[in-house]
A and B are shown apart, each in its own frame.
Chain A
Amino acid sequence: MRRGLIAWSKGELPEALFEQRVARAQAEMARDRLDALVVYTNCTRPAGAAWFTGFTPYWSEGVLVVPHRGRPQLAVALSKRVQDWIERVACVGDVISGPRFGLEAGRAIAEIAPGARIGVLELDDFPSGTAEELQSADPSAALVDATALVDRLRQPSDGAEIALTTRAGEIARRALAAIPRDVATDAAAIAAVDGCARREGAEDAFIAVAPDLLRDDRFVRAQGEPVRLGDAFALRATVAYKGHWVRVARTIVRDGSGDASIAAAFEELAGAATRLPGTGGFGNASTWLVEATTRSQPLESIAGSTLNGASRPPAGTVVTISMTLPIGGLPILVAGPALAGTSERAGALLVAPTFA
């Protein structure tokens, strides 16, 4: 669940921004002859609804309905008692609560357009029970996939997305900087990062650890008995701020002997970022991954060394890059948010993941 700070910061996400996004969506919907756009949301798939309204369900699920004109409506499985909370944290019109939220959403659409053509983000992945409810409200309505429409809206990223992703990256960077070099266990290191990120206003933070890079360079989630950290280890902070997600990684070699290698790895990361959306900058990496948040899943895997047939990172869009670089006999793990380039300008890291 989301249990960090959830509050609508109107300075960072003004109402006019959401109105503009909805208006752009409605123009695209008219082009695709859609009467409504439906976006599923739950606390693990909040990115679509959050882009339109700022709403992230801390728990449970719901759907956002963007009608062909007027304000978006939310139908959620959360109890009616939290409606006023939703209205405080989200830029949305009517909020409908109830366990059969799919049916409620379908009824709302049927009222404005009987026999509607309903565009659904990620129709194939839509929960079947909710799809059935949506359809049952108006059997004459047609559900069509609207993923391409949302892709058109969200690429390239707008200024607010870039600014808030940068802010999320800064929170993650400062949280990782809070790890003492002499920290003894994975649990102690994770606690330092997690607490710092939340105190800085993170909406959520997932901290993973590679406790001994000489044995295994994969990140895991620490649980149970604390594990003693090796001489070289790494932590990765996955942080959300106002619905914007990043990953930042930090490798630590206790005696400082790896500092030059770590600095070289940062250079590689920055170099790879300048070549995005091309993937030619990953030549020295043993593994690499590019993730983006353009649909309902935060940080969707877009391209990477182990992703056969995945797509190319979208130009002008905020992404997160993760790399493993074998330098000086050690795997150095680095990650940070970047803005993929366009024909006019090169890509760049949004946050320099250095921790001095």
Chain B
Amino acid sequence: MTSTTNLAVQRRERLASALRASGFDVLIVYGNAWQGDYLRYATDFGLLEGHGLALVAADGEVLFLLESAVEAERAHAEAAGVGVRWVADAPAAALAELRRRGDPVLAGAPFKLLPRKLLRSGIAIADGTALVDRLLMHKLPLELEAIRSATRLADDAYRVFIHAATEGTPQYGIVAEVEAFLRAHGSADNFMLIGSGGPDVRGMTPPSDRLLARGDLVTTELTPEVGGYYAQICRTLVVGKASDVQRRAFAVYHEALEAGIAAVRPGARASDVARAENEVFRKHDLGVYTTSEYTRVRGHGVGLFPDAKPHILEDVDVELVPGMTLVVHPNTYHPEAGYIVLGDTVIVTDRGAEVLTRTPRDLFEAG
């Protein structure tokens, strides 16, 4: 049995065990290529197109219903140990199957994404989101190994990014080079944003056709997956030589990242990590740039979803425990330099944060 197959079996057993402990007979799991983590946990299938429903029984049996014939064919080939069925209408097929099974006690996850037809059918479905979230956040040893591999790949891919970021190159051309590198190294998916320019740039987006210019700050968060598990690196470079303003601004983010990582330890809260990062900005009279007007989160979980729970924000009270994996990133706008990002992937251990990212925390100069 390969480690990937072994991990899939371990996850399914863990999920089935959690169902039994909570008194549910069947968990209805919804997923698509965006919110695919719950489904991947249950089926070990990375959905690319359409959406799907899995019925996970408390004895560990999984029935996977897919509306895309192309994806159903692929699932037959890729999803070991799972019953796969193409159906024209997945919610209708799920309801028919549940009726056939009698009157099982049901939970659904992620609850708010369940198709309306399921919840309007008259059958009782409890919200099983938190049940699965706990499993997604607290990783098994093999899950941590996959995240270590993904982090190594992110480090390597960032070197490709630096090499590709030359004056006159369009943003989408850089991303094309990184994506080709990742495919060549066995990574099937990547979450990636990019920004380039000066103080007018307030965030990152998918790539545009904007050409890189000398003096641009070029930001990226690059998030490849290995075996379904994502790890993220956030770095900023300058096309050409960095200015004093850019260097001074970057130093604040460096300090904030170190403060955030130092706050990662068992028993701390997600809010403690965010507060540690934000205090650095406040100390430099940049506190306003830690608000939602300028930044979304100060980090987040990574795993089967690139933007997983817990979100690192001052109002998120989730306790950090060993086995959680996070990216800590004080990414935000700087009024003199523009949008700057810097972030590392870490594992929460008994002793604090184990930093997986190896790329130096530098303001790189490229092109």
Contact = CB atoms under 8 A, between A and B. Distances in A.
19 contacts: A1-B191, A44-B33, A81-B293, A125-B115, A127-B113, A128-B112, A128-B115, A187-B183, A191-B180, A195-B179, A218-B74, A218-B76, A219-B70, A221-B48, A222-B186, A224-B186, A238-B48, A297-B68, A306-B86
Contacts of B187: 223
Contact of B186 (A124, A199, A225): A225
A298 B180 contact: no
Given A80-B292, A129-B112, A224-B227, A307 B181 contact: no
A291 interface: yes
A218 to B, nearest CB: 5
A222 to B, nearest CB: 7
Contact of B176 (A44, A198, A221): A198
Interface in B98-141: 111-119
Interface of B: 4, 32-35, 46, 48-51, 67-70, 72-74, 76-78, 86, 88-89, 91, 111-119, 170, 172-173, 175-177, 179-181, 183-188, 190-193, 202-203, 205-209, 226-227, 292-296, 306-307
A58 to B, nearest CB: 4
Given A128-B119, A218-B73, A44 B32 contact: yes
Nearest to A190: B183
Nearest to A223: B188
Contacts of B190: 3
Contacts of A43: 33-34
A61 interface: yes
Contacts of B68: 297, 299-301
Interface stretch (A4-12, A64-72, A278-286, A341-349): A4-12
Given A124-B89, A194-B183, A221-B74, 4 more contacts: A3-B192, A43-B34, A220-B78, A306-B69
Nearest to B294: A81
Contacts of A125: 51, 91, 115-117
Contacts of A144: none
Given A59-B191, A79-B292, A187-B184, A126 B207 contact: no
A53 B70 CA distance: 28
Contact of A194 (B49, B89, B180): B180
B223 to A, nearest CB: 9
Contacts of B170: 5
Contacts of B206: 1-6, 58
A287 B292 CA distance: 52
Interface in A174-212: 187-188, 190-192, 194-195, 198-199, 201, 206-208
B202 A81 contact: yes
B116 A128 contact: yes
B205 to A, nearest CB: 5
Given A81-B294, A187-B185, A289-B69, A206 B116 contact: no
Contacts of B296: 79, 81
Contacts of B294: 81
Given A7-B209, A58-B206, A221-B46, A191 B112 contact: no
Which 8 pairs between the two chains have the least Cβ-Cβ distance? A129-B112, A195-B180, A198-B176, A191-B184, A5-B172, A124-B117, A301-B69, A191-B183
Nearest to B203: A81
A220 B77 contact: yes
A205 B220 CA distance: 20
Nearest to B228: A223
A293 to B, nearest CB: 11
A224 B187 CA distance: 7
B114 A127 contact: yes
A345 to B, nearest CB: 28
B70 A195 contact: no
Contact of A289 (B70, B193, B293): B70
A53 B316 CA distance: 36
Contacts of A218: 73-74, 76-77
A297 B52 CA distance: 12
A322 B50 CA distance: 17
A297 B50 contact: yes
A20 to B, nearest CB: 26
Nearest to A302: B69
Contacts of A291: 69-70
A226 interface: yes
Contacts of B177: 195
A223 B4 CA distance: 11
Interface in A142-192: 187-188, 190-192
Nearest to A299: B49
B77 A238 contact: no
A224 B89 CA distance: 32
A354 interface: no
Contacts of A201: 172, 209
A337 interface: no
Contacts of A191: 180-181, 183-184
B172 A238 contact: no
Interface string A22-45: 000000000000000000001111
A82 interface: yes
Given A5-B172, A188-B184, A224-B186, A301 B114 contact: no
A238 B50 CA distance: 13
B337 to A, nearest CB: 16
A79 B117 CA distance: 29
A68 B179 CA distance: 42
A44 B34 contact: yes
B342 to A, nearest CB: 18
A206 to B, nearest CB: 5
A5 B208 contact: yes
Contacts of A255: none
A47 B264 CA distance: 41
A72 to B, nearest CB: 21
Contacts of A207: 183
Contact of B74 (A42, A60, A131, A208): A208
A198 B175 contact: yes
A111 interface: no
Nearest to A307: B69
Given A61-B34, A304-B69, A222 B116 contact: no
B49 A206 contact: yes
Contacts of B67: 297, 300-301
Contacts of B69: 289, 291, 301, 304, 306-307
A208 B4 CA distance: 20
Nearest to B67: A301
